[in-house]
Structure formats: structure tokens, C-alpha cells
């Protein structure tokens, strides 16, 4: 069970609440169209920022290991390195990112390969991808708002319990 403070329901100005961190996200997909779709989806979460992207697994490994993202969202089937091998190599890094494999491959073999490589989640690209992807990101990076001590405290907090 998580408790979340809904900043939109606080009676003080919204800028009294600051995120403790931004979710630095890297995208890897060999389809520019699907990468653009993933970017639109994840940017709906105000705490997400995209720090880089690649359409090839080898470039993704190099760039992601250089940029140090908190989250990598990768396709399974890509040139260079596939998403499972990319995941395996990213998980070997110090401070390895959370890796979500988002793919159209809904086979048990694809799922097993990604899970064995260390993927944190496996999602199939389907019609309801946006809410599922945002929900998974929320699970790994729950809202963590803290009051900004330089600003006046909110007059009222509204707590929502999420199960």
C-alpha cells in the first residue's frame, strides 16, 4: 500500500512541493515511430525526462552506460544487440538502471529470455500500452514528494491510499 500526496489538492501553491528526483529515462527501439510513441507516453509523467535514445542495441548500450539513466525502456528485437542482451549488459553496470522491455513479441520464450537477462518488467505493445507502462513506471518510481522548506507549508494535505 502506498500513500500519495495529491499536490493538485493542496491549498498552497503547487510550487511548494518539489520532486525529490527526476526519472532520467533512455529509450531504445529500432522503429523511430514507436520510439516517438514511447516518448509521448512516458512524458505524460511529469517526473520523467528523456536523456537519450538509440535505434540500435550497441548504440543504446554505449549511450545508456555513458548517460547513467534511472530507467531504460527497450524493445526486444533490435539490430546490434537485442533487448535481452542489452538488458543483461546494463544490469552488470554499477548503479544499473531499471530496465523495462516493451515489445510486440508476446511469446513465452521472449518473456523468459528477458527475465533471465534481468529485466525488471516485460510489457507487450498493445492497444492499452500507455496506462500499463505508466503504471509500471509508478511501481518502480513511486511519487516521492517532499515539502520545500524554503516555501510556506501547505495549509491542507489530501492523502490518497493506493493499493
Q: What is the pLDDT of residues 5-33, one digit of tens each?
A: 333 333 333 444 445 578 999 999 999 99
Mean pLDDT of 82-92: 97
88 has pLDDT over 70: yes
Exposure string for 118-127, b = 16+ CB within 10 A, e = fewer: ebbbbbbbee
Distance CA 87, CA 106 (A): 17
* Residue 127 DSSP class: T
Q: Name the residue with higher pLDDT: 153 or 101.
A: 101
Q: Taking the CB of residue 57, how many other CB atoms lie within 10 A of it?
A: 24
Q: Taking the CB of residue 20, how many other CB atoms lie within 10 A of it?
A: 9
Q: What is 21-143's CATH number, 3.40.50.2300, 3.90.1150.150, 3.40.50.300, 3.30.70.3270?
A: 3.40.50.2300
Q: Name the residue with higher pLDDT: 158 or 105.
A: 105
Torsion of CA 49, 93, 89, 35, to 10 degrees: 0
Q: Name the residue with higher pLDDT: 160 or 100.
A: 100
Q: Where are the domains of the chain?
A: 21-143
Q: What is the pLDDT of residue 46?
A: 87
Amino acid at each position: 500500500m502506498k500513500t500519495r500526496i495529491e499536490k493538485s489538492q493542496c491549498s498552497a501553491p503547487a510550487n511548494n512541493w518539489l520532486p525529490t528526483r527526476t526519472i532520467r529515462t533512455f529509450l531504445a527501439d529500432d522503429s523511430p515511430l514507436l520510439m516517438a510513441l514511447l516518448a509521448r507516453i512516458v512524458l505524460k509523467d511529469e517526473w520523467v525526462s528523456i536523456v537519450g535514445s538509440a535505434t540500435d542495441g550497441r548504440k543504446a548500450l554505449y549511450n545508456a552506460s555513458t548517460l547513467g539513466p534511472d530507467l531504460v525502456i527497450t524493445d526486444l528485437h533490435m539490430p546490434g544487440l537485442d533487448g535481452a542482451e542489452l538488458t543483461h549488459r546494463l544490469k552488470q553496470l554499477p548503479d544499473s538502471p531499471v530496465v523495462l522491455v516493451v515489445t510486440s513479441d508476446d511469446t513465452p520464450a521472449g518473456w523468459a529470455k528477458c527475465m533471465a537477462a534481468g529485466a525488471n518488467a516485460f510489457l507487450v505493445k498493445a492497444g492499452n500500452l500507455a496506462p500499463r507502462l505508466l503504471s509500471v513506471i509508478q511501481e518502480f518510481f513511486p511519487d516521492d514528494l517532499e515539502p520545500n522548506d524554503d516555501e510556506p507549508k501547505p495549509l491542507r494535505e489530501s492523502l490518497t491510499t493506493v493499493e
